[in-house]
């Protein structure tokens, strides 16, 4: 259903450094256009990289609506709709559907630490509401709770649950998920630095941080993987790998916003507390990675 290079879009803010003000709608619209022009295959607004935890409800729904409006049907929009409260996630999905989103990215409930049965109940309740197709987002480093392969196989049997963004870091789960969920179940990597292995194992794409900064390179890499052009895919991965690492040299999305401000001089690097502007060491790592990628 979804494939290729799918940037987890940053949310630009007005203001300086940590005093970030309102969402910069013009900068966000320009980012959406640039991503599509550079070959990105779909877009994810209001994910972790979009600083969704620091957006209020009105801002959250406005950013999704802006993305849908600016994309204008050119690529699918997978709206970040997750919450550790099932009712809030349900409302995000309802509003995202009303805005015209194509699917919802729903993170495993964080902080609550539900059981595997609780995870199934959460996603079943959202799927039963019938608002949008759901891509499960498994990122145990942030949520603590991990969706185990047997649990995902149960979720894959629920109408409306169509895929996973897998940031577990366990590459052999791609095969486990193919066997448990079927080959039509959409598997998207949540880790840029593992995307090559993920695709070789049978994945269909990547929800990417690096694609914010290097959309054409990331799209070319995904296209090469899909075409089975593994030599070209490896060459592109070698160019991108230092960037994949540098963008997490400090708390995300500080480094990726700095990198974007280097690649696009008109893009604001502001972040919202508790995220702060990235360190000088992280900036040096980003600068070096941009040079290796041929982006600066």
- Active site residues per annotation: 137, 165
Helix axes 25-37, 57-71, angle to 10 degrees: 40
C-alpha span between 199 and 97 (Å, rounded): 29
Per-residue buried b or exposed e for 47-71, using 16+ beta carbons within 10 Å of the residue's own CB? bbbbbbebbeeebbbbbbbbbbebb
Measure the CA–CA gap between 83 and 96, rounded to whole angstroms: 14
CA distance 81 to 280: 33
Burial 185-211 (b: 16+ CB within 10 A, else e): bbbbbbbbbbbbebbebebbbbbbbbb
CB count in 10 Å sphere of residue 87:
9
């Amino acid at each position: 259903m979804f494939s290729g290079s799918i940037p987890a879009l940053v949310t630009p803010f007005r203001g300086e450094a940590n005093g970030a003000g309102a969402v910069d709608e013009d900068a966000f619209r320009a980012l959406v256009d640039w991503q599509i022009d550079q070959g990105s295959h779909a877009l994810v607004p209001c994910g972790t990289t979009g600083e969704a935890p620091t957006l209020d409800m009105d801002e959250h729904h406005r950013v999704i609506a802006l993305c849908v409006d600016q994309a204008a049907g050119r690529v699918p929009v997978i709206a970040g709709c997750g919450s550790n409260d099932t009712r809030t996630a349900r409302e995000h999905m309802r509003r995202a559907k009303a805005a015209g989103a194509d699917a919802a990215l729903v993170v495993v409930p964080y902080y609550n630490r539900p059981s595997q049965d609780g995870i199934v109940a959460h996603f079943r309740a959202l799927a039963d509401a019938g608002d949008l197709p759901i891509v499960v987002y498994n990122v145990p480093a942030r949520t603590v709770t991990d969706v185990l392969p047997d649990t995902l196989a149960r979720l894959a049997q629920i109408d409306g649950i169509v895929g996973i963004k897998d940031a577990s870091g366990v590459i052999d789960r791609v095969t486990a998920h193919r066997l448990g969920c079927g080959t039509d179940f959409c598997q998207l990597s949540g880790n840029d630095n593992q995307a090559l292995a993920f695709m070789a194992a049978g994945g269909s794409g990547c929800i990417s941080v690096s694609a914010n900064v290097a959309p054409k390179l990331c799209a070319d890499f995904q296209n090469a993987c899909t075409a089975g052009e593994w030599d070209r895919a490896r060459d592109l991965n070698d160019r991108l790998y230092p960037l994949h690492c540098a963008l997490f040299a400090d708390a995300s999305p500080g480094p990726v916003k700095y990198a974007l401000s280097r690649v696009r001089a008109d893009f604001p690097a502001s972040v919202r507390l508790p995220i702060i502007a990235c360190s000088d060491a992280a900036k040096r790592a980003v600068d070096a990675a941009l040079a290796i990628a041929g982006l600066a």
